[in-house]
Structure 1
Amino acid sequence: MLPAERRKEIIEVLKRDEKIVVDEVAAKLNVSPMTIRRDLQQLEKEEVLTRTHGGAVLGEKLTQEIPYDEKKQENTEAKEKIADQAATLIEDGYTIILDAGTTNMAIAKRLDKFKNIKVVTNDLLIASYLSQQEVDVYCSGGEIQKNTGACFGSAALRFFSELYADIAFVGTSAVDVVAGITTPTLDKAELKKRMLSAGEKKVLVADSSKFGKKSFAKVVDLRDLDVVITDSDLPQNLIDTINSEQESIKATIV
Structure 2
Amino acid sequence: MLKKERQEKILALLHKNDYLSIPEISTNLNVSDMTIRRDINELAEQSLLVKIYGGAQKLEKIEQELSTQEKIDTNVTEKQFIGKVMNSIISDNDTIYIGAGTTMLHALPEIKKANLFVITNSLLAFNYLIHNTDYRVLLTGGEFSRTTEEFYGEIAEKSFDNINIDRAFAATNGVFDNNVTTANPIEGSIQRVAFKHARKKYVVADSSKFNRSDVYTFYSLSDIDCLITDDKLTDTTRDYYNTFTKILKEEQA
TM value normalised by structure 2: 0.71
Distance 1:196 1:98 in 2: 11
Instruction: Tell whether the 8 Å contact from 2:141 to 2:156 is kept in structure 1 after alignment.
Output: yes
Of residues 235, 247, 250, the one that matches 1:251 is: 247
Deviation at 1:200, TM superposition (A): 0.8
Instruction: Tell whether the 8 Å contact from 1:63 to 1:214 is kept in structure 2 after alignment.
Output: no
Q: Please say if 1:221 is aligned against 2:220.
A: yes
CA separation of 1:62/1:81 partners in 2, compared to 1, >3 Å: closer, same or farther? Answer: closer
**Aligned to 1:160, what secondary structure does the other structure show?**
coil
Deviations 1:197-238 (A, max 9, x none): 222111111101111111122211110111111123323222
Instruction: Tell whether the 8 Å contact from 1:161 to 1:194 is kept in structure 2 after alignment.
Output: no
Instruction: Tell whether the 8 Å contact from 1:63 to 1:184 is kept in structure 2 after alignment.
Output: no
Q: Please say if 1:69 is aligned against 2:83.
A: no
**Aligned to 1:97, what secondary structure does the other structure show?**
strand
Structure 1 unmatched ranges of 5 or more? 1-45, 47-59
Instruction: Tell whether the 8 Å contact from 1:63 to 1:174 is kept in structure 2 after alignment.
Output: no
Deviation at 1:143, TM superposition (A): 0.8
Q: Which moved more, 1:227-236 or 1:92-101?
A: 227-236
Deviation at 1:162, TM superposition (A): 3.5
Distance 1:153 1:224 in 2: 23
> Which position in structure 2 is the counterpart of 1:12?
none
Deviations 1:150-202 (A, max 9, x none): 11111112212442211001101010114x10111110111111111222111
Distance 1:134 1:228 in 2: 28
Distance 1:75 1:217 in 2: 23
Report 1:28-107 matches (<5 A): 61-107=61-107
Instruction: Tell whether the 8 Å contact from 1:167 to 1:203 is kept in structure 2 after alignment.
Output: yes
Runs (4+) of structure 1 exceeding 6 A deviation are none
> Which position in structure 2 is the counterpart of 1:168?
168
Distance 1:135 1:232 in 2: 29
CA separation of 1:232/1:184 partners in 2, compared to 1, >3 Å: closer, same or farther? Answer: same
CA separation of 1:114/1:217 partners in 2, compared to 1, >3 Å: closer, same or farther? Answer: same
Distance 2:97 2:69 in 1: 22
Letter of the 1:106 partner, please give it. Answer: H
Distance 2:73 2:188 in 1: 24
Instruction: Tell whether the 8 Å contact from 1:176 to 1:214 is kept in structure 2 after alignment.
Output: yes
**Aligned to 1:73, what secondary structure does the other structure show?**
coil
Instruction: Tell whether the 8 Å contact from 1:95 to 1:119 is kept in structure 2 after alignment.
Output: yes
Q: How many pairs does the alignment contain?
A: 191
Instruction: Tell whether the 8 Å contact from 2:188 to 2:218 is kept in structure 1 after alignment.
Output: yes
Structure 2 unmatched ranges of 5 or more? 1-45, 47-59
CA separation of 1:116/1:252 partners in 2, compared to 1, >3 Å: closer, same or farther? Answer: same
Letter of the 2:135 partner, please give it. Answer: V
Instruction: Tell whether the 8 Å contact from 2:81 to 2:107 is kept in structure 1 after alignment.
Output: no
Deviations 1:107-140 (A, max 9, x none): 32234x3221100000112112211221100001
